[in-house]
Amino acid sequence: EIVLTQSPGTLSLSPGERATLSCRASQSVSSNYLAWYQQKPGQAPRLLIYGASSRATGIPDRFSGSGSGTDFTLTISRLEPEDFAVYYCQQYDSSPLFTFGPGTKVDIK
Amino acid sequence: QVQLQESGPGLVKPSQTLSLTCTVSGGSISSGSYYWSWIRQPAGKGLEWVGRSYISGSTNYNPSLKSRVTISVDTSKNQFSLKLSSVTAADTAVYYCARYFWGSFDSWGQGTLVTVSS
């Protein structure tokens, strides 16, 4: 089973600042099947990035994903007020097929 | 744009079976190369994948739940369902239905809270 570790646990930033979130896998993620989601309180997760670096439909270009193998990064170039949320990475592998990281909370400094 | 909506009892007694349905609108559940999945989230915690089904009936389940989970698709109703047997308090969570495509979950329902309590 591939275990995902996200860091930091909490990121305190101000609007307009750059956010860099890390997701590390215990084994190489096949074919870059790594996705990122945003979740706000009381809402379902929303897909931001799939295939490690492709933005999902309707996602602003301030969100970008990068990385390969075991190290992946989600970058928010300039934080907007609506970006303060919890972010999860997720991978697709052989078993149990899908696992999620524990999340990084981006809150207002 | 496809929309998903969960429905089912919000309270289930211990040892009973949790049953939820996800209704898909804005598109046919039979179209495309999609799998239909369930994911859950205990209060204040992270996300756990429960399982998925394809329209052919092919299924995959989280090994930690496999002995208790059944997911099925009803193409005539454009719905898919989750049954989780022998529930305990540890199964209390918000349950989301989601559409899987190419390694990720691109559409989600709003989620439904299921509490296991006598």
pLDDT tens across B30-76, in order? 987 899 999 999 999 999 999 999 998 899 999 999 999 999 999 99
pLDDT at A31: 66
Q: How confident is the model at residue A30 (pLDDT cuts 50, 70, 90)?
A: confident
The residue behind tokens 């289930």 is B12
Mean pLDDT of A24-44: 91
Residues of chain B positioned with their CB less than 8 A from the CB of A46: 108
Mean pLDDT of A75-101: 92
pLDDT at A97: 83
- Residue A44 has its nearest CB partner, among B49, B60, B96, at B96
pLDDT at B102: 86
- What's the whole-number average pLDDT of chain A? 94
pLDDT at A96: 65
Note whether B40 and B96 are within 8 A (CB): yes
pLDDT tens across B79-100, in order? 999 999 999 999 999 999 999 9
Residue A95, pLDDT above cutoff 80: no
Q: B110 — contact with chain A (CB < 8 Å)?
A: yes
B106 to A56: CB separation less than 8 angstroms, yes or no? yes
- Residue B109 has its nearest CB partner, among A31, A33, A44, at A44
Q: How far is A14 from chain B (nearest CA, A)?
A: 24
Residue B118, pLDDT above cutoff 80: yes
CA distances from B58 to A44, A95, B4, B109 (A): 26, 16, 20, 22
pLDDT at A91: 95
